[in-house]
Amino acid sequence: MKTASMIRNSDHDFLTRVKESEQDKFAQKAIASAQDAQWVKREGARQELGNWEDWRNLGEQIRQHVVRYLPDYLEEFSDNVEKNGGHVFFAQTDVEARDFIVELAKKKQAKHVMKSKSMVTTEIGIDKALLEIPGLDLLETDLAEFILQEDDWDEPTHLVFPAIHKNRDQVREVFIKKLGYEGDNDPQHLARFARKVLRERFLKNDFCITGCNFAIADNGWINLDTNEGNADLCMAIPKTQVVVMGMERLVPTLKEAETMDNMLARSAVGQKITTYCTFTNRKTADETDGPEDFYVVILDNGRSNALGTDFEPILQCIRCASCLNVCPIYRHIGGHGYGSIYPGPVGSVLSPVLEGNYDDFADLPYACSVCAACSATCPVKIPLHKLLVKHREIMMDDLHQSQLIEDAVMRVVGLGTGHPSLFRPALGVAHTGTSVIAKKNPQNVKNLYEDGKHLSWMPFVFGGWTKERDFPDPPAHKDGFRKWYKTHKPVEADPKVAAHTAQRQQEIKAEKAKRGEAQHD
């Protein structure tokens, strides 16, 4: 089922995107700096909390439990939202979610719509759809999203820091051009200017859209975390609030919400808890502000493709982005390199799942060094690197989808290595074939680079290797290794060295015996 049509955010192919990202030196530097800074903050916050691995076990358990009993929790949550006087709409696709919100905005005659930052609203492309309503203006209230909006809806590049790729001069230029800003490039001055612009708009707000960090099943409330407080102002002032949530964003009770908030803040930004952590619902009759009309849109949009499959753990994700912040690939290609609104390791796993096929995101599982840093940092223990390998397996083994001509090459290799009668002659041919570029001297570690040559360019598919690394010239031996090995006998050890080794072993045994340690040898 192809559903998630809005998550692709670039028309360029993967290699073009990577090339573009490599050329943006500021973004590369900013991301490297952010990763380094976040490492210190995140690891410090986790260490201060203590027992981090046990917290991860708890986080994993809570999220796995919710995913396992997802229909039951959704039923409980939606019953309670309606018991509180709210309304719940189940959207199978992004189109259904988008159409519902657009129709609701028209019905409510909304003029001033505000949003707080939320990945799922980006996923359904609600901004552009609402802007097509005549007379409606829309404002992103998170400072980073506001900057991107004013910069002609530039694409975000990070789940937590969407405008990380922009420097202060670029922000200043945008503010001068679009908002009449006259100040300098000091982030404090820029942010205070934005505060004034945003505050004026907050007070006109008649309709708001928020995401949802966690939805609480047993009371029908939602939980939102921000550092700016923009979501709270969004929710408090207008009479209508629409909450959009991925269907998996549930926790059983307020207690698990509190646990996950603690783990989220530490993982995302190295804080113990975000500055504003709010548990909220449709306003009561006696309260003045807060939404009178409270709508929750629960979105599948391809998430159910993961259920019952190896990819089910991706639904545990709490969008902390710590996997981005440790990923060497994200460090190199940035958010734009992924071509999906969900970048980094989580995006590489999630994007093909949401899409339901590998049409647009087949490259992403291969954009991974399988270093497993993402899996090690994930607060809810999603085995991200294993899921990326699983994507590759499915593409190659089940779907027979090749990357360029790798499939054909590997088929030939498979044929050759599967039959000794073909494999042995092939080794001889390979050895002879490479002899023209072989070193004159025998190969050893010392003369690998010092004494010989190496290739810095190779043609055809091998170019991918030499683009990043040198290719050492092969050794100049007459024979290949296997033939050489058969004709050589083991070299006898130097008697002096052997005697010294035996003596030292005896000494070590004696020392261990003296300390009372067990002898294993």
Residue 404 backbone zone (phi > 0: left; psi -120 to 50: alpha; other: beta): left
- How far, in Å, CA of 125 to CA of 409, rounded? 40
**Given 137, 229, 331, 358, the residue binding other proteins (CB under 8 A):** 229
Subset of residues 389 to 408 that bind other proteins, contact rule: CB under 8 A = none
Residue 258 engages other proteins in binding (rule: CB under 8 A) = yes
Cβ-count burial of 236 within 10 angstroms (0-12 exposed, 13-18 middle, 19+ buried)?
buried
Residue 90 engages other proteins in binding (rule: CB under 8 A) = yes
Residue 234 · residue 115 · CB < 8 Å: yes
The nearest distance, CB 223 to other proteins, in angstroms, is: 10
CA angle 288, 290, 291 (to 5 degrees): 120
Residue 346 engages other proteins in binding (rule: CB under 8 A) = no
Nearer of residues 18 and 298 to other proteins, judged by Cβ: 298
**Given 18, 74, 139, 245, the residue binding other proteins (CB under 8 A):** 74
**Given 124, 143, 327, 368, the residue binding other proteins (CB under 8 A):** 143
DSSP string, 170-184: HHHHHHHHHH---S-
Question: What backbone phi and psi angles, to 5 degrees, belong to 184?
Answer: -90, -165
Subset of residues 20 to 39 that bind other proteins, contact rule: CB under 8 A = 30, 33-34, 37
The nearest distance, CB 195 to other proteins, in angstroms, is: 5
The nearest distance, CB 305 to other proteins, in angstroms, is: 8
The nearest distance, CB 318 to other proteins, in angstroms, is: 16
Question: What backbone phi and psi angles, to 5 degrees, belong to 119?
Answer: -65, -35
- How far, in Å, CA of 246 to CA of 303, rounded? 8
Cβ-count burial of 99 within 10 angstroms (0-12 exposed, 13-18 middle, 19+ buried)?
middle
Subset of residues 235 to 254 that bind other proteins, contact rule: CB under 8 A = 235-237, 239, 247, 252-254
- How far, in Å, CA of 238 to CA of 236, rounded? 6
Question: How many residues touch other proteins (CB under 8 A)?
Answer: 104
The nearest distance, CB 147 to other proteins, in angstroms, is: 7
Encoding tokens for residue 194? 């934005």
Subset of residues 274 to 313 that bind other proteins, contact rule: CB under 8 A = 274-284, 286-290, 298, 300, 304-305, 307-308, 312
The nearest distance, CB 448 to other proteins, in angstroms, is: 42
Chain-centroid distance of CA 516 in Å reads: 51
CA torsion sign, 424 to 430 to 435 to 441? negative
**Given 11, 23, 25, 71, the residue binding other proteins (CB under 8 A):** 71
**For the packed helices 143-150 and 187-202, what is the interaxial angle rounded to 10 degrees?**
90
**Given 152, 182, 203, 486, the residue binding other proteins (CB under 8 A):** 203
CA atoms within 13 A of residue 353's CA, in its CB half-sphere: 26
Residue 40 engages other proteins in binding (rule: CB under 8 A) = no
Subset of residues 91 to 130 that bind other proteins, contact rule: CB under 8 A = 91-92, 96, 100
Subset of residues 148 to 187 that bind other proteins, contact rule: CB under 8 A = 161-164, 166-168, 171, 187
Residue 471 engages other proteins in binding (rule: CB under 8 A) = no
**Given 110, 144, 212, 329, the residue binding other proteins (CB under 8 A):** 144
Q: Which range of residues in 107-115, 128-136, 195-203, 206-214 is near other proteins by CB under 8 A? A: 195-203
**Cβ contacts of residue 46 below 8 Å, gap of 6+?**
52, 55, 266, 267
